[in-house]
Structure 1
C-alpha cells in the first residue's frame, strides 16, 4: 500500500490479525509498519548495511506516537545511511547501552514535563535527584537489574520512609516505560516492574488543643528571643546560642494552620494573588486547578504584618533578586518548633488534617470542609467522617439525657 495517515488509520481499525501482519510501502522499499495480534502498530525500516549482508529491521516508533510522514522520513534516512555503510540499529543499541539511569530520568522528566503540573514535574525531579540517582544513577540503564532496584527501594525506605521509597520506584518504572517507547532502553525492559513495595497505611494524626498551644508558644519564642541551638542543629552558631527564626517561616506555619491550605500553596503564594479586602487568596494553579482560599481575620492580620520582599508572600533566601524562587520547604524550622513544643509525630500536612477535623467537630458538613480544602473528589473528604461520627454521638447523648431526665427513672 501507499503508507499515509489515512491508509494506516484504516488498517489499524480493521479486525485484529491472527498473527503479526506486515504492510510495506509501494514507493519506498524497506519502509513499512506491522500490527500485532493485540492491535499495536509499529513503523519500521528494513535494509542491508553491506551488499549481500543480512537484512536488519529498525523500529522507528509506534503508530499514533509517530505520524506516517515522520516515519517515512526517518525510514528514508535509515535506508540512505545503510547504503553508506552506517548501521543505525547498531548505533541506537550502543546509545542505549551507554545511557545511564540518571540520563534516562533526565530525558524522561524533560520531555514529559509539559504533560503534568509544574509542581508535579518538580516533584519528579526531586525524587530522581534525592532517592534514585545517588543509588543507581551511574549504572547503565540497560544493565540495571530488578535486584538493584529492590535494594535501592530498601535503602530509601530506611533513610526517608516507606512513602518516599515507593514513589521512587513508581517514577523509575514510568521512566523505563517511556524510555522503551522512545528507544532509550530495549522495549519491554523495565527493572522497576515487579519490585515489592511497602504497604502504605493512611496517616491520620491531628493536633490536640494542648499541642496547638505548645506549638503557638514555641513559635512566639522562636521569632522573638529565638530558640537555643543544640548539638544536633549547630551549624553556623555555637551550641546554646539563641537563634531568632525568620518571621516568614512562622507566618507560613500559622497560615497553613488557619486556612488548611497545602504547604506549596502557601510557600508559592504571590502578593498579586492576595486579596485582603475580600479576605481570599486566588490560587491560579493548585493541585486541583484554580482555587480560592478563604482567610479568617487572624490570617489576614498575619499577612498584613509581613513586609513584602520580592514576589512571594513567604520570602525565601533569594527574595527580591533577579533569580527569585519560592522557599523550598519548612523542614528545619518546623523540626525546631516541634522540638521546643515537645510535640512529636506531626507532619506539616497534618496541620491541614487538623483544620478539617476541627471544622467537622464544630458540626460543619463534609461538603463545606471539602470546599474549604479544595478537594475535587468528595471521597477524599470522607476521611474526616470519624469526626462527624463523634459529633453525632455527643448530640445523641445530649438529646437522650434530656429525654431520660424528662421521663424520670430511665437509666
Structure 2
C-alpha cells in the first residue's frame, strides 16, 4: 500500500497508542512523525550513515507546521547526502548532567513562575538536587536514584547551617522538604522530556507519600486565649520564659522586669492575619499606599495569585487605624531597619502562642481559621474563596465598586466573630482617622 504524504489532516487523525509508533511520509523518504502515548507528535528524519541507521528530531507538531518540518527535513537529508552526520550532537547537549539540566531549566523552563517561586526552586536545586544528583547524566538517572534521593533528604543528609555574606542559611531536611524537592525534580525532568533529552520521566512511580493536611482551625475558646495573650503582650507584657541551665546573670532581678512587651506593630500584624485571612507576606509587605481605609480595601499590587483587592471588615479597619505611621517608612508593619518592613513574626509569635498554650499553632493557621469561621457561618465556599483570593483577580475586582455586597457582609461577619473572641472593638465607620505617626 502506498504511503500517504504527511499533511495536517493526516497528523490530526493519528491517535496515541500504548507505545510509541512512527508514521512515514510517502512523498519524502526518511521523513516521519513519532506519536507518543501522551499524544505528543514529533517530526523525525531517519537515514543510514556508514551502514548504521540514524534518527534526528526535527521538531514538535504544533510548534512547527508540517510544511516547516518537511522543509527542515529536506535540508537535513541534503546535508546527509553531502556526507554530514546530522544526528551527531555534542555529548553534553544531548545528555546533560542533572546540574546542567537544572541550569537550563532555570534559564528557559520556568518563565511562567513567579520570581519568588523561582528563587525557592534555586535554593532547592543548590542545597539538595545538585549535591546529591548533579553529577549524574539525565539519561542515566533511574527511579532507584530518585528513591535514594528522597530518603537521603528525609534523613537530613543535605541539612546544613551555612554562613553567607548576609547572615546564615539554615537548610533543613525531613520528609516535607524531601517531598517538595522531589516534586521540583519531577518538573525539571518533565522539561527534559519536552526537550527530548529523555523519552520518559524517571520520577514517575516514585512513592513519596502525602503531605499532612496542615489544616488547623482555632476554636472559639482558643481564639479567646489568643486574644487575651495579644492584649497582655502589648500592654503589661508577657512573663519571661527561662530555659533550664541558662546563665542566671542575664535574668532580670526585679519582678517588674520579668515581663516583655511585644512591639505593637507585631501584635497588629497578627490581628490583621486573623481578621483578613491574608497570607503572611501580604501583611508584612503591605504599604500604606495600598491601604484604602475610606472604601475598606487593601489594594495588593502582587500576591501569590497576582494583583487583588482584599475586602476589609470593620474590626480590621479599626486595627489599621490604630497602627502608627512611622515617618519615612512606607510599610504598615515596620521593623527595626529604617525604611524597611518587619522581616518576620517568628519570635513574637512563639512568645504569644506559648503564653496562650497554643504551641502547635502556625501563623498560616490564622488564614485557615478565618475561612473556617466563614464557612461555619453559612457564607458559602464561593464567597469565602473570593475573600481569601482563591479566585482570579478579575472575578474579585467585579465586586470592588459595590458599597454593600456579599463580600463586604461576609468580611464584616467573619471579622466581627473573630474580633468578639479576641476582644478587638469594631465600632468604626468606613472612614477611619489615622493615628499620628511617630517621628
Q: TM-score range by the shorter chain?
A: 0.5 to 0.7
Query: Is 1:157–1:163's contact at 8 Å kept on the other side of the alignment?
Result: yes
Partner residue in 2 for 1:171? 184
CA contact (8 A) 1:12 1:39 kept: no
Distance in 2 of aligned mates of 1:239 and 1:142: 59
Shift of 1:192: 1.6
Q: What SS does the corresponding residue of 1:282 show, helix, strand or coil?
A: strand
The Cα shift of 1:281 comes to 0.7
**How many residue pairs are counted as aligned between the two chains?**
359
Asked whether the equivalents of residues 234 and 263 of structure 2 are also in contact (C-alpha less than 8 Å), the reply is no
* TM-score, L = length of structure 1: 0.67
Q: Alignment partner for residue 301 of structure 1, among 318, 321, 324? A: 321
Alignment partner of 1:351 out of 348, 363, 366:
366
SS in 2 for 1:281: strand
Change in CA separation of 1:123 and 1:22 when aligned onto 2, cut-off 3 Å: same
Pairing partner for 2:291 from 242, 256, 274: 274
Whole-Å Cα distance in 1 between the matches of residues 348 and 206 of structure 2?
A: 36
Matches within 5 A, 1:105-144: 105-144=102-141
List runs of 5+ in structure 2 lacking aligned partners: 156-171, 253-258, 393-413, 418-439
Retained in 1: the 8 A contact 2:4–2:25?
Answer: no
Query: What's the offset of the Cα at 1:179?
Result: 0.7
Structure 2 counterparts to residues 55-204 of structure 1, below 5 A? 55-68=53-66, 71=69, 75=73, 87=85, 89-100=87-98, 102-158=99-155, 159-183=172-196, 185-188=197-200, 190-204=201-215
Cα 1:70–1:137, aligned 2, differ >3 Å: closer, same or farther?
Answer: farther
Relative contact order (C-alpha < 8 Å, sep 6+): which is higher?
A: 2
- Distance in 2 between the 1:286 and 1:369 partners? 17
**2:132 and 2:228 mapped to 1: Cα distance?**
40
Does residue 26 of structure 2 align to residue 12 of structure 1? no
Q: Which residue of 2 aligns with 1:44?
A: 44
Deviation at 1:105, TM superposition (A): 2.9
| 1:21–1:36 contact (8 Å) kept in structure 2 | no
Tell me the SS of whatever aligns to 1:278: coil
Deviation at 1:333, TM superposition (A): 5.6
Which deviations, in whole Å up to 9, do the C-alpha atoms of 1:196-253 show, x marking residues without a partner?
Answer: 122334233234135413652585389x8998897999xxxx9769999876655543
Q: 1:8 to 1:197 in 2, by over 3 A?
A: same
Note closer, same or farther for the CA distance 1:226–1:103 as it changes in structure 2 (3 Å cut): farther
Between the aligned partners of 2:139 and 2:338, the Cα distance in structure 1 is 43
CA shift, 1:121, in A, is: 4.2
Counterpart contact for 1:142–1:186, Cα < 8 Å? yes
Partner of 2:216: 205
- The answer for the alignment partner of 2:405 in structure 1 is none
| Richer in helix (by share) | 1
Deviations for 1:93-144, whole angstroms, at most 9, x for unmatched residues? 44343422x3323322432434345554444444434553443234333333
For the 8 Å contact 1:230–1:240, the answer to whether it is kept is no
CA RMSD of aligned residues (A): 4.7
Alpha-carbon offset, residue 261 of structure 1: 0.6
SS for the counterpart of 1:115 is coil
Question: Which residue of structure 2 aligns with residue 22 of structure 1?
Answer: 24
Alignment deviations for residues 286-340 of structure 1 (CA, whole Å, 9 cap, x no partner): 4445432123223322555355536x555679986xxx9x877655664465456
C-alpha distance in structure 2 between counterparts of 1:360 and 1:2, whole Å: 60
Q: CA deviation at 1:260?
A: 0.9
1:365 and 1:161 mapped to 2: Cα distance?
38
- Change in CA separation of 1:200 and 1:17 when aligned onto 2, cut-off 3 Å: closer
Aligned to 1:398: none
Please, which runs of 5 or more residues in structure 1 have no aligned partner?
378-387, 392-411
Question: In the TM superposition, what is the alpha-carbon distance from 1:72 to its structure 2 partner?
Answer: 5.5
Q: Post-superposition shift, 1:42?
A: 1.3
* Structure 2: distance between partners of 1:38 and 1:9: 19
CA distance, structure 1, for counterparts of residue 89 and residue 149 of structure 2: 30
Alignment partners' CA distance in 2, 1:41 and 1:274? 51
Moved more, 125-134 or 55-64: 125-134
